[in-house]
Structure 1
Amino acid sequence: MGRGENVLKKTYLQKTLAFIDSETELLHLKIRYPEQFCQPSKQTFKSDLYIIPKSKGLGIIGMAEIVVGLFLSGEVKDKSGKAVSLTLLAQTFEHAFNFSFGSIYDKQDALFRRKPFNLTRTLDFLKSLIHRKDNTINNR
Protein backbone atom coordinates (compact mmCIF):
# COMPACT_ATOMS: atom_id res chain seq x y z
CA MET A 1 0.00 0.00 0.00
CA GLY A 2 1.41 3.40 -0.99
CA ARG A 3 1.60 6.45 1.21
CA GLY A 4 -1.10 8.25 -0.81
CA GLU A 5 -3.67 5.61 -0.04
CA ASN A 6 -3.04 5.87 3.72
CA VAL A 7 -3.43 9.63 3.57
CA LEU A 8 -6.77 9.26 1.81
CA LYS A 9 -7.95 6.69 4.34
CA LYS A 10 -6.85 8.86 7.27
CA THR A 11 -8.58 11.92 5.79
CA TYR A 12 -11.75 9.94 5.17
CA LEU A 13 -11.73 8.52 8.71
CA GLN A 14 -11.13 11.99 10.19
CA LYS A 15 -14.04 13.45 8.24
CA THR A 16 -16.25 10.53 9.24
CA LEU A 17 -15.37 10.98 12.92
CA ALA A 18 -15.98 14.75 12.67
CA PHE A 19 -19.38 14.07 11.13
CA ILE A 20 -20.27 11.56 13.87
CA ASP A 21 -19.13 14.06 16.52
CA SER A 22 -21.31 16.82 15.06
CA GLU A 23 -24.32 14.47 14.87
CA THR A 24 -23.75 13.40 18.48
CA GLU A 25 -23.59 17.05 19.56
CA LEU A 26 -26.81 17.75 17.66
CA LEU A 27 -28.53 14.84 19.44
CA HIS A 28 -27.37 16.17 22.80
CA LEU A 29 -28.77 19.60 21.93
CA LYS A 30 -32.08 18.05 20.83
CA ILE A 31 -32.33 16.24 24.16
CA ARG A 32 -31.34 19.32 26.16
CA TYR A 33 -33.47 21.88 24.24
CA PRO A 34 -36.28 19.92 22.52
CA GLU A 35 -38.50 23.00 22.06
CA GLN A 36 -35.91 24.53 19.75
CA PHE A 37 -36.18 21.57 17.41
CA CYS A 38 -39.96 21.27 17.18
CA GLN A 39 -41.22 21.92 13.70
CA PRO A 40 -44.68 23.38 13.38
CA SER A 41 -47.06 21.00 11.72
CA LYS A 42 -48.02 22.11 8.25
CA GLN A 43 -51.74 22.28 8.02
CA THR A 44 -52.95 22.39 4.49
CA PHE A 45 -55.59 24.97 3.79
CA LYS A 46 -58.62 23.64 1.93
CA SER A 47 -61.05 26.28 0.77
CA ASP A 48 -64.79 25.78 0.55
CA LEU A 49 -64.96 28.16 -2.41
CA TYR A 50 -65.05 27.02 -6.04
CA ILE A 51 -64.88 28.69 -9.45
CA ILE A 52 -66.64 27.06 -12.36
CA PRO A 53 -63.81 26.88 -14.93
CA LYS A 54 -65.87 27.69 -18.03
CA SER A 55 -68.34 30.06 -16.42
CA LYS A 56 -69.49 32.88 -18.72
CA GLY A 57 -68.99 35.65 -16.21
CA LEU A 58 -66.14 34.39 -14.10
CA GLY A 59 -64.20 31.46 -15.51
CA ILE A 60 -60.48 30.78 -15.42
CA ILE A 61 -59.67 33.51 -17.94
CA GLY A 62 -61.86 35.86 -15.89
CA MET A 63 -59.89 34.98 -12.78
CA ALA A 64 -56.69 35.52 -14.76
CA GLU A 65 -57.98 38.98 -15.67
CA ILE A 66 -58.44 39.79 -11.98
CA VAL A 67 -55.09 38.29 -10.94
CA VAL A 68 -53.17 40.04 -13.73
CA GLY A 69 -54.91 43.32 -12.90
CA LEU A 70 -53.98 43.01 -9.23
CA PHE A 71 -50.42 42.07 -10.16
CA LEU A 72 -50.02 45.02 -12.53
CA SER A 73 -51.30 47.39 -9.84
CA GLY A 74 -48.36 46.42 -7.62
CA GLU A 75 -50.62 46.94 -4.60
CA VAL A 76 -50.61 43.34 -3.33
CA LYS A 77 -47.58 42.91 -1.06
CA ASP A 78 -45.85 40.02 0.67
CA LYS A 79 -44.81 39.90 4.34
CA SER A 80 -41.73 42.01 3.66
CA GLY A 81 -43.73 44.72 1.90
CA LYS A 82 -42.52 43.86 -1.61
CA ALA A 83 -44.96 43.49 -4.50
CA VAL A 84 -45.82 39.81 -5.01
CA SER A 85 -44.96 37.87 -8.13
CA LEU A 86 -47.62 36.95 -10.64
CA THR A 87 -47.00 33.28 -9.88
CA LEU A 88 -47.53 33.68 -6.13
CA LEU A 89 -50.68 35.71 -6.64
CA ALA A 90 -52.03 33.10 -9.07
CA GLN A 91 -51.23 30.24 -6.68
CA THR A 92 -53.05 32.06 -3.88
CA PHE A 93 -56.17 32.42 -6.02
CA GLU A 94 -55.92 28.78 -7.10
CA HIS A 95 -55.87 27.65 -3.45
CA ALA A 96 -58.61 30.06 -2.41
CA PHE A 97 -61.02 29.04 -5.18
CA ASN A 98 -60.02 25.41 -5.87
CA PHE A 99 -59.04 25.62 -9.52
CA SER A 100 -55.87 25.65 -11.59
CA PHE A 101 -54.65 28.16 -14.12
CA GLY A 102 -52.23 25.64 -15.56
CA SER A 103 -49.72 28.29 -16.52
CA ILE A 104 -50.68 31.79 -15.42
CA TYR A 105 -48.34 33.16 -18.09
CA ASP A 106 -50.29 31.31 -20.81
CA LYS A 107 -53.52 32.75 -19.39
CA GLN A 108 -51.95 36.22 -19.31
CA ASP A 109 -50.99 35.85 -22.98
CA ALA A 110 -54.54 34.74 -23.81
CA LEU A 111 -55.86 37.74 -21.94
CA PHE A 112 -53.66 40.17 -23.87
CA ARG A 113 -54.60 38.52 -27.17
CA ARG A 114 -58.24 39.50 -26.60
CA LYS A 115 -59.72 42.21 -28.75
CA PRO A 116 -59.47 45.66 -27.10
CA PHE A 117 -63.21 45.85 -26.38
CA ASN A 118 -63.03 42.44 -24.60
CA LEU A 119 -59.79 43.05 -22.70
CA THR A 120 -61.58 43.69 -19.39
CA ARG A 121 -64.68 41.59 -19.98
CA THR A 122 -64.76 40.12 -16.46
CA LEU A 123 -64.07 43.41 -14.74
CA ASP A 124 -66.81 45.02 -16.85
CA PHE A 125 -69.18 42.18 -15.87
CA LEU A 126 -68.42 42.68 -12.16
CA LYS A 127 -68.75 46.45 -12.53
CA SER A 128 -72.18 46.07 -14.13
CA LEU A 129 -73.31 43.80 -11.28
CA ILE A 130 -72.28 46.45 -8.75
CA HIS A 131 -74.03 49.20 -10.70
CA ARG A 132 -77.16 47.07 -11.02
CA LYS A 133 -77.21 46.37 -7.28
CA ASP A 134 -76.55 50.05 -6.55
CA ASN A 135 -79.49 51.07 -8.76
CA THR A 136 -81.86 48.65 -7.04
CA ILE A 137 -80.80 49.93 -3.60
CA ASN A 138 -81.12 53.61 -4.60
CA ASN A 139 -84.53 53.07 -6.24
CA ARG A 140 -86.13 51.73 -3.07
Structure 2
Amino acid sequence: MKPFTECRIFSYLTLTPHQGHAVSAEEISSSYAEYEQYLNGLAAEPLSISERLRHLLHGQVELVSLKKLSVETEQPCDTPTGFYLDKCLLLVEAEIELLKFSVQHPAAIETSPSFLSSLHWKGTLVNLMELISSLDYSELVTDESGKRLSFAGIVFAFEKLFNVSIPKPYDLRADLARRKKNYSVLLPKLKETFEKNIVKCGIESK
Protein backbone atom coordinates (compact mmCIF):
# COMPACT_ATOMS: atom_id res chain seq x y z
CA MET A 1 0.00 0.00 0.00
CA LYS A 2 1.54 3.28 -1.12
CA PRO A 3 1.86 6.17 1.38
CA PHE A 4 -0.45 9.18 1.24
CA THR A 5 2.40 11.34 -0.08
CA GLU A 6 2.28 9.34 -3.33
CA CYS A 7 -1.43 10.04 -3.87
CA ARG A 8 -2.12 12.53 -6.63
CA ILE A 9 -4.11 14.86 -4.41
CA PHE A 10 -1.10 15.33 -2.12
CA SER A 11 0.82 16.96 -4.97
CA TYR A 12 -2.09 19.39 -5.47
CA LEU A 13 -2.41 20.21 -1.77
CA THR A 14 1.27 21.13 -1.57
CA LEU A 15 1.06 23.69 -4.37
CA THR A 16 1.47 27.36 -3.54
CA PRO A 17 -1.66 29.55 -3.95
CA HIS A 18 -0.35 30.80 -7.31
CA GLN A 19 0.41 27.29 -8.54
CA GLY A 20 -2.89 26.04 -7.21
CA HIS A 21 -4.78 28.22 -9.67
CA ALA A 22 -3.31 26.07 -12.45
CA VAL A 23 -5.17 23.03 -11.14
CA SER A 24 -8.71 22.77 -12.46
CA ALA A 25 -11.66 22.03 -10.20
CA GLU A 26 -12.22 18.81 -12.16
CA GLU A 27 -8.65 17.66 -11.57
CA ILE A 28 -8.66 18.20 -7.82
CA SER A 29 -12.16 16.74 -7.51
CA SER A 30 -11.14 13.59 -9.37
CA SER A 31 -7.98 13.31 -7.28
CA TYR A 32 -10.14 13.45 -4.16
CA ALA A 33 -12.30 10.63 -5.54
CA GLU A 34 -9.07 8.75 -6.17
CA TYR A 35 -8.08 9.30 -2.53
CA GLU A 36 -11.47 7.96 -1.39
CA GLN A 37 -10.81 4.83 -3.43
CA TYR A 38 -7.34 4.63 -1.89
CA LEU A 39 -8.88 4.58 1.60
CA ASN A 40 -11.49 2.05 0.50
CA GLY A 41 -8.69 -0.12 -0.80
CA LEU A 42 -6.82 0.24 2.46
CA ALA A 43 -9.87 -0.97 4.38
CA ALA A 44 -10.12 -4.01 2.09
CA GLU A 45 -6.44 -4.93 2.29
CA PRO A 46 -5.56 -7.99 4.40
CA LEU A 47 -3.54 -5.87 6.83
CA SER A 48 -3.33 -6.03 10.59
CA ILE A 49 -5.13 -3.36 12.60
CA SER A 50 -1.82 -1.78 13.58
CA GLU A 51 -0.61 -1.60 9.96
CA ARG A 52 -3.86 -0.06 8.76
CA LEU A 53 -3.84 2.43 11.62
CA ARG A 54 -0.24 3.33 10.87
CA HIS A 55 -1.11 4.21 7.27
CA LEU A 56 -4.06 6.32 8.39
CA LEU A 57 -2.12 8.14 11.09
CA HIS A 58 0.75 8.89 8.75
CA GLY A 59 -1.73 10.39 6.30
CA GLN A 60 -3.29 12.39 9.12
CA VAL A 61 0.12 13.77 10.11
CA GLU A 62 0.73 14.98 6.55
CA LEU A 63 -2.72 16.58 6.32
CA VAL A 64 -2.51 18.28 9.72
CA SER A 65 0.94 19.62 8.78
CA LEU A 66 -0.43 21.02 5.51
CA LYS A 67 -3.35 22.59 7.37
CA LYS A 68 -1.01 24.18 9.91
CA LEU A 69 1.20 25.51 7.13
CA SER A 70 -1.77 27.05 5.32
CA VAL A 71 -2.81 28.84 8.52
CA GLU A 72 0.71 30.10 9.25
CA THR A 73 1.14 31.43 5.72
CA GLU A 74 -2.40 32.89 5.79
CA GLN A 75 -3.45 31.06 2.66
CA PRO A 76 -7.13 31.60 1.81
CA CYS A 77 -9.28 28.69 2.97
CA ASP A 78 -12.08 29.31 0.46
CA THR A 79 -10.05 28.01 -2.48
CA PRO A 80 -10.65 24.55 -3.97
CA THR A 81 -7.31 23.43 -2.52
CA GLY A 82 -8.28 24.60 0.97
CA PHE A 83 -11.72 23.01 0.64
CA TYR A 84 -10.34 19.61 -0.36
CA LEU A 85 -7.62 19.78 2.27
CA ASP A 86 -10.35 19.99 4.90
CA LYS A 87 -12.32 17.19 3.22
CA CYS A 88 -9.28 14.89 3.14
CA LEU A 89 -8.53 15.60 6.79
CA LEU A 90 -12.12 14.88 7.82
CA LEU A 91 -12.18 11.76 5.68
CA VAL A 92 -9.04 10.23 7.18
CA GLU A 93 -10.24 11.14 10.68
CA ALA A 94 -13.52 9.34 9.96
CA GLU A 95 -11.60 6.26 8.79
CA ILE A 96 -9.55 6.28 12.00
CA GLU A 97 -12.72 6.48 14.09
CA LEU A 98 -14.29 3.62 12.13
CA LEU A 99 -11.20 1.53 12.67
CA LYS A 100 -11.23 2.23 16.40
CA PHE A 101 -14.95 1.42 16.55
CA SER A 102 -14.35 -1.91 14.80
CA VAL A 103 -11.78 -2.80 17.47
CA GLN A 104 -13.95 -1.72 20.39
CA HIS A 105 -17.17 -3.26 19.03
CA PRO A 106 -16.22 -6.14 16.73
CA ALA A 107 -19.69 -7.70 17.01
CA ALA A 108 -21.30 -4.56 15.61
CA ILE A 109 -19.31 -4.73 12.40
CA GLU A 110 -20.89 -6.82 9.69
CA THR A 111 -18.33 -9.14 8.24
CA SER A 112 -18.83 -9.81 4.58
CA PRO A 113 -16.38 -11.78 2.50
CA SER A 114 -14.06 -9.47 0.60
CA PHE A 115 -13.94 -9.72 -3.16
CA LEU A 116 -11.00 -11.95 -3.98
CA SER A 117 -10.12 -12.46 -7.60
CA SER A 118 -7.96 -15.25 -8.95
CA LEU A 119 -7.41 -13.35 -12.21
CA HIS A 120 -4.06 -11.82 -13.17
CA TRP A 121 -3.23 -9.36 -15.93
CA LYS A 122 -0.44 -10.64 -18.23
CA GLY A 123 -0.24 -7.58 -20.48
CA THR A 124 1.40 -4.23 -19.86
CA LEU A 125 -0.09 -1.53 -17.65
CA VAL A 126 -0.21 0.77 -20.69
CA ASN A 127 -2.40 -1.72 -22.54
CA LEU A 128 -4.61 -2.15 -19.51
CA MET A 129 -4.98 1.63 -19.33
CA GLU A 130 -6.30 1.60 -22.91
CA LEU A 131 -9.08 -0.71 -21.80
CA ILE A 132 -9.84 1.29 -18.65
CA SER A 133 -9.84 4.61 -20.49
CA SER A 134 -12.14 3.26 -23.20
CA LEU A 135 -14.66 2.13 -20.59
CA ASP A 136 -14.38 5.47 -18.80
CA TYR A 137 -14.96 7.50 -21.96
CA SER A 138 -17.86 5.25 -23.01
CA GLU A 139 -19.72 6.06 -19.75
CA LEU A 140 -21.01 2.48 -19.74
CA VAL A 141 -19.74 1.63 -16.25
CA THR A 142 -21.91 2.79 -13.35
CA ASP A 143 -22.22 2.21 -9.63
CA GLU A 144 -25.15 0.41 -8.02
CA SER A 145 -27.27 3.57 -8.16
CA GLY A 146 -26.73 3.98 -11.89
CA LYS A 147 -24.36 6.94 -11.52
CA ARG A 148 -21.37 6.99 -13.83
CA LEU A 149 -18.35 5.50 -12.09
CA SER A 150 -15.35 7.80 -11.92
CA PHE A 151 -12.09 7.03 -13.67
CA ALA A 152 -10.49 6.42 -10.27
CA GLY A 153 -13.29 4.01 -9.40
CA ILE A 154 -12.76 1.98 -12.58
CA VAL A 155 -9.01 1.88 -11.96
CA PHE A 156 -9.61 0.62 -8.42
CA ALA A 157 -12.00 -2.08 -9.70
CA PHE A 158 -9.49 -3.30 -12.28
CA GLU A 159 -6.73 -3.40 -9.69
CA LYS A 160 -8.89 -5.71 -7.58
CA LEU A 161 -10.09 -7.76 -10.54
CA PHE A 162 -6.63 -8.45 -11.95
CA ASN A 163 -4.57 -8.32 -8.73
CA VAL A 164 -2.43 -5.53 -10.12
CA SER A 165 -1.23 -2.15 -8.85
CA ILE A 166 -1.62 0.82 -11.21
CA PRO A 167 0.55 3.65 -9.86
CA LYS A 168 -0.21 7.19 -11.03
CA PRO A 169 -3.08 6.19 -13.36
CA TYR A 170 -3.69 9.76 -14.55
CA ASP A 171 -0.08 10.06 -15.68
CA LEU A 172 -0.35 6.66 -17.35
CA ARG A 173 -3.47 7.76 -19.23
CA ALA A 174 -1.74 10.98 -20.29
CA ASP A 175 1.09 8.89 -21.75
CA LEU A 176 -1.40 7.35 -24.18
CA ALA A 177 -2.09 10.78 -25.67
CA ARG A 178 1.62 11.30 -26.27
CA ARG A 179 1.98 8.24 -28.50
CA LYS A 180 3.37 9.35 -31.85
CA LYS A 181 1.98 6.61 -34.12
CA ASN A 182 -1.15 4.99 -32.77
CA TYR A 183 -3.13 6.03 -29.73
CA SER A 184 -4.38 2.47 -29.34
CA VAL A 185 -2.42 -0.78 -29.51
CA LEU A 186 -4.47 -3.25 -27.49
CA LEU A 187 -7.96 -2.35 -28.71
CA PRO A 188 -7.33 -3.10 -32.42
CA LYS A 189 -5.83 -6.45 -31.40
CA LEU A 190 -8.88 -7.22 -29.28
CA LYS A 191 -11.17 -6.28 -32.17
CA GLU A 192 -9.23 -8.50 -34.58
CA THR A 193 -9.16 -11.43 -32.15
CA PHE A 194 -12.85 -11.06 -31.37
CA GLU A 195 -13.95 -10.96 -35.02
CA LYS A 196 -11.72 -13.90 -35.94
CA ASN A 197 -12.95 -16.12 -33.12
CA ILE A 198 -16.61 -15.08 -33.15
CA VAL A 199 -16.82 -16.31 -36.73
CA LYS A 200 -15.42 -19.68 -35.65
CA CYS A 201 -17.90 -19.72 -32.77
CA GLY A 202 -20.77 -19.23 -35.21
CA ILE A 203 -19.53 -22.02 -37.47
CA GLU A 204 -19.07 -24.45 -34.58
CA SER A 205 -22.56 -23.79 -33.23
CA LYS A 206 -24.20 -24.87 -36.50
Q: TM-score, normalized by length of structure 2?
A: 0.43
Equivalent-residue separation in structure 1 for 2:128 and 2:143 (angstroms)? 20
Alignment partner of 1:94 is 2:147: no
Structure 1 alignment gaps of length 5 or more = 1-36
Of 167, 178, 185 in structure 2, the residue corresponding to residue 121 of structure 1 is 185
Cα RMSD of the aligned pairs, angstroms, is 2.2
Aligned partner letter, 1:126: L
* Residue number in structure 2 paired with 1:85: 150
* Residue number in structure 1 paired with 2:138: 73
* Residue number in structure 1 paired with 2:109: 39
Q: Percent identity?
A: 28
Residue 137 of structure 1 deviates from its aligned partner by: 4.2
Residue 41 of structure 1 deviates from its aligned partner by: 1.5
Equivalent-residue separation in structure 1 for 2:201 and 2:166 (angstroms)? 36
Q: TM-score, normalized by length of structure 1?
A: 0.62
Question: Any residues of structure 2 matched to 1:21-36 within 5 Å, and which?
Answer: none
**Structure 1 residues 40, 133: closer, same or farther in 2, change over 3 A?**
same
Structure 2 alignment gaps of length 5 or more = 1-106
**Structure 1 residues 41, 112: closer, same or farther in 2, change over 3 A?**
same
Aligned partner letter, 1:74: E
Equivalent-residue separation in structure 2 for 1:43 and 1:121 (angstroms)? 37
**Which secondary structure does the structure 2 equivalent of 1:84 belong to?**
coil
